[in-house]
Structure 1
């Protein structure tokens, strides 16, 4: 008997980006979208087109480029939002508008200040307006996990009549418990007379660590779309993890009468790409994609695996992309091999000058470390393209000194608006001294909120990727830098954050009251 198709809706580029500090630029989003396309993700939520010009351009670029997946844009139940989403998706081979409004009593009363009847009226009008823009419309009941079941039945029946073909039941605040959430989905499917005309979807947050469990409970009770993210990325505690959803369904066919069209061998490479681009490291014991996910320390476990793998492994590492035969580049690799690898990774450079600069930096990196892996290339691309943008602050030289019993110092030169400036500072360590030297020149007044270091690959010659989070006047920005020299990577990250502050560009939150 054939199984139902479980639609995988990836929202890494929209909800995942709402994780503080996970902001991605347009080219990085396109690279991730291409990776999701190679993974055969059904729907890619590319962004929230009305939030900013940058979000609009990202959604449009992905819609123009990716043709193997449906491209979706989020929109509040407002005509302006929907029109902007429709404009961004104009060239999509397959596009979807995802419109939403809050349905819980607490949201309707305190956030929307609307009566239930007014909410239904706005939802129906939004769906009808979206159907005039595009044939594929999804409707979400924001905070459905705390909404009254009778009201959910009323509003969903009417938006299906208005033309919505996907109905999303999100656990927006991560409040649900699996048994209760599964029963909610089953009840909606049983009570709503036109439920058969729509695909029911779930979007679960991980505030109680139950996002995947709640999503799977929903699938067992009739949901046929799951909204999730790579590595479980997302605001607060994150979202349901795509890799865990896909592999749970695939590993337990005895319990799930569904399957996905996902190419699971792309899971680990895509996980690493998202981690590199966002600067959010994957914890070693993370299911499926963590470095220890298939490691066996116990002698008993090792003996069992050697005798028969299934004694302690429920899936093969190779099936999710571990230990695949990937091309490793080195200092003897030529331009043709490098360009071919970029194409395989879905990386497109806009000009020959960009290729020249990236290849030059690749050669510099290859001289410092023996093997250059895919993760190195992704970090290299991000670092190079950011350096090519208009920057107020640019690092010219850096020298640090750190000796036992002496206070570390840093001396550096920056190009600031075309003028070279120098500074020397001391600090608790070489990184602290470097940041203080930068601030002697910048006088930014920003406060350091986060300093994080992650090794991109294994080995002592690995590139270090540094994330720096700065706060100024209530605005939070993230900076990223990568280098085999961790002090240099730290300086790059701090300056990247300062350049974000200097541009003044801000991204609105999709659930903000006004955009």
Structure 2
């Protein structure tokens, strides 16, 4: 598949970990988007599509929330998918028991570790929080689960306490520790510093769970990998609480195209996955959304269209088929003769050069009058100047 990127990218050496895990939380954190509620069938359909995409881990939900939620998580866990199925559990035995009842492969257990969370949400001291977390990790490991421990609001937690927490989590058997950038409050430079500091005290895998409050979730995740992390949390279309989470499609395509790190995903299913989640959440995909937006491979400007017709990579970093999209040439105010001629050929019209110029003028005028130039409007314009229609 063809693509063309800046040669300057290669001037800097990037050192990614050999093995990177992407665990998608569309069905858990994505469902915490206000107004979103998946049915069991919705979750199963999305999980199957994620598995077709070849995602590594699916965070299927939060079983303790309700009996229906637990039923949905259990159904996904028993669907026979290739992806590892994990779920969320508070640092409570009842939550872990419920996860075990759902037949999942593992859990993400969590507790807020920042002083603001401990004081205003948990109402406990640091040592008490530490004790609770370690007992939960120990209990889950004793029952054969993969265990990831997530320090909620990690990026606003005292560094020494965070180091102590992750170090103890490793000693109690945690398979992975998560840095939850709960309110998106860290920078790429900050996440680099933090992970390098944590690497001094722990050898287990470090994951980044980044929120997008400042639009930095994807780049923070990438910088986290470059600094020594090895797992990333994503959601399809970047959905989630407030401004959402790191977008699966943006992260995967940035790694693949810009950084040359192909994780083996079936990217041709990205558009189908995006549209499925958009349908089930009833959240539209912004037209300018990177990778999956309708405008990503649509061209109107005459200068652009002329070049794209000759060589698509003049105005596209990669070909649309790579992510299951299609290129569209859109007619409007900025269209030129070449774009209109291409549309005429597509519709089966034969015109003279004089008629072509008239059609271009009429297209521009119609768009400026507020009409969207779809196929029907375009055909009406062409017929209005007595062009001969050829049925191809």
- Please give the TM-score of this superposition, normalised by the length of structure 2: 0.77
- CA-atom RMSD in angstroms: 1.9
CA deviations over 1:352-381 (Å, ceiling 9, x no partner):
xxxxxxxxxxxxxxxxxxxxxxxxxxxxxx
What's the counterpart of residue 59 of structure 1? 73
2:16, 2:218 → 1: CA distance? 24
8 A contact 2:17–2:230 mirrored in 1: no
Shift in Å, 1:292: 0.6
Shift in Å, 1:60: 0.3
1:252, 1:4 → 2: CA distance? 17
CA deviations over 1:430-452 (Å, ceiling 9, x no partner):
xxxxxxxxxxxxxxxxxxxxxxx
**Residue 211 (str. 1) matches residue 217 (str. 2):** yes
CA deviations over 1:327-350 (Å, ceiling 9, x no partner):
xxxxxxxxxxxxxxxxxxxxxxxx
Partner residue of 1:304 out of 297, 307, 310: 307
1:53, 1:113 → 2: CA distance? 28
Partner residue of 1:113 out of 123, 131, 155: 123
CA deviations over 1:477-507 (Å, ceiling 9, x no partner):
xxxxxxxxxxxxxxxxxxxxxxxxxxxxxxx
Structure 2 CA distance for partners of 1:272 and 1:159, relative to 1, 3 Å: same
2:161, 2:306 → 1: CA distance? 56
Q: Which structure 2 residues correspond to residues 180-191 of structure 1 after superposition, within 5 A?
A: 180-189=190-199, 191=200
8 A contact 1:3–1:259 mirrored in 2: no
1:148, 1:188 → 2: CA distance? 12
8 A contact 2:17–2:225 mirrored in 1: no
SS at match of 1:245: helix
What's the counterpart of residue 179 of structure 2? 169
What's the counterpart of residue 7 of structure 1? 21
What's the counterpart of residue 148 of structure 1? 158
Structure 1: gaps spanning 5 or more residues: 325-457, 461-515
1:86, 1:459 → 2: CA distance? 55
1:3, 1:76 → 2: CA distance? 29
1:296, 1:124 → 2: CA distance? 55
1:187, 1:302 → 2: CA distance? 49
Structure 2: gaps spanning 5 or more residues: 1-14, 328-373, 377-392
* Structure that is richer in strand per residue: 1
What's the counterpart of residue 45 of structure 2? 31
Tell me which structure has the larger Cα radius of gyration. Answer: 2
8 A contact 2:17–2:229 mirrored in 1: no
2:249, 2:306 → 1: CA distance? 28
CA deviations over 1:199-247 (Å, ceiling 9, x no partner):
1100111111211121112112111111010000111111110000000
What's the counterpart of residue 393 of structure 1? none
Partner residue of 1:260 out of 259, 263, 269: 263
Partner residue of 1:242 out of 248, 254, 267: 248
2:375, 2:118 → 1: CA distance? 53
Structure 2 CA distance for partners of 1:183 and 1:298, relative to 1, 3 Å: farther
SS at match of 1:226: strand
8 A contact 2:297–2:326 mirrored in 1: no
1:269, 1:246 → 2: CA distance? 15
SS at match of 2:317: coil
Partner residue of 2:236 out of 219, 230, 237: 230
What's the counterpart of residue 278 of structure 1? 281
Paired residue total: 316
What's the counterpart of residue 388 of structure 2? none
Runs of 4+ that moved beyond 3 A: none
**Residue 318 (str. 1) matches residue 284 (str. 2):** no
Shift in Å, 1:3: 6.6
Shift in Å, 1:304: 2.8
* Structure that is richer in helix per residue: 2
Shift in Å, 1:120: 1.1
Partner residue of 1:77 out of 80, 84, 91: 91
Q: Which structure 2 residues correspond to residues 418-429 of structure 1 after superposition, within 5 A?
A: none
